[in-house]
Amino acid sequence: MAGAKKSTKAKMPDVWQAAFYMTGDKKLPGLTYLTGLPEDVRKELLKTIAAVVATGPPRYPTGGPTWTLMHKSKAKGEVDMSGICEAKDKDGKLLYRIFCVIDRDAAEHGLGAASLILLGGATKKVKTVVPQSEYKVIDQYRHDYRATHRVGRLKKMPVWWP
Amino acid sequence: MHQSAESAVFADLVGSTFTTEEERTRFQSEVERLVAYAELLNAFDEARAQADLSKAELARRIGVKPSVISRLLNGQAKNVELDTIAKLAGALDVYVEVKVRKQPKAKQSKHPALAIAA
């Protein structure tokens, strides 16, 4: 066995949070998507997101049935979704996706901690693809967040939150 | 989760989705179980990297196809057998400690029903 190696990776922030991207007209597409879902689906997606945040998003295993890091499409002209993560759930013949970006440096531009930013979502039938027009909107949200760091805020944490 | 004005929006959504104390306790417990599983996989992958072993070599050492190791370490495999975990640990020269303890009395437990430390 080889000797211990020093990690060359940048230190991961210890504390993370989930936050919702906010559009210029003060809408939270990620929140709107989640609140419109069937309750059982919303519950599963919230559990996944909470687990990803608690583990630290860069450390959560990707490629599984519930959390994936998207890659650049090989097809010409398609939206480049690389760098976006998706929390996933399936209910019958429908697949549900909530798209997120990881912002390690969120604390440096006014957020409380390193953040998993929930951008928006999409629902599709099994064996179909999300339309490029929907990916394009998510990609625009990503770029707008990177430019503005605009997120939704509430004054108080719920009393029950651990 | 860090507590802030931003994360309060997420916490509020969780609170309006899991409305009873029982549901919230189950939510926390399931999240902790997912975190424990993710940390176990990370611990194995870090031990593999420390040992300078490729996934293919690790697979060869425990007698499975490389795709089995890839699926396992990236979270695709569900219900991993204890035997596979023991073989992985052996091949990586680490051990996995599983402790059976009573749940703490407080409902807001930090301990999931399944917590595995590697």
Question: What ipTM was estimated for this complex?
Answer: 0.89
Question: pLDDT tens-digit profile of A50-63?
Answer: 999 999 999 999 98
Smallest Cα–Cα separation from A58: which of B46, B52, B89? B46
Q: Chain B window 6-65: which residues touch A at a Cβ cutoff of 8 Å?
A: 6-15, 17-18, 21, 24, 27-28, 30-32, 34-35, 38-39, 41-42, 49-52
Q: List helix spans (H) across chain B.
A: 7-17, 21-50, 55-62, 66-73, 82-92
Q: Which residues of B touch A51 (CB under 8 A)?
A: 31, 34-35, 38
Alpha carbon distances (Å) from B32 to A19, A25, A50, A111 = 20, 36, 9, 25
Q: Chain A window 62-121: which residues touch B at a Cβ cutoff of 8 Å?
A: 62-67, 111-113, 115, 118
Q: Which residues of A touch B67 (CB under 8 A)?
A: none
- Digits of tens for pLDDT over chain B (118 positions)? 778 899 999 999 999 999 999 999 999 999 999 999 999 999 999 999 999 999 999 999 999 999 989 888 888 887 788 898 999 999 999 998 888 888 766 544 444 444 444 4
Q: Which residues of B touch A111 (CB under 8 A)?
A: 4, 6
Residue type, B5: A
Give the C-alpha separation, A129 to A28, whole Å: 24
Q: Is-contact A121 A96, C-beta < 8 A?
A: yes
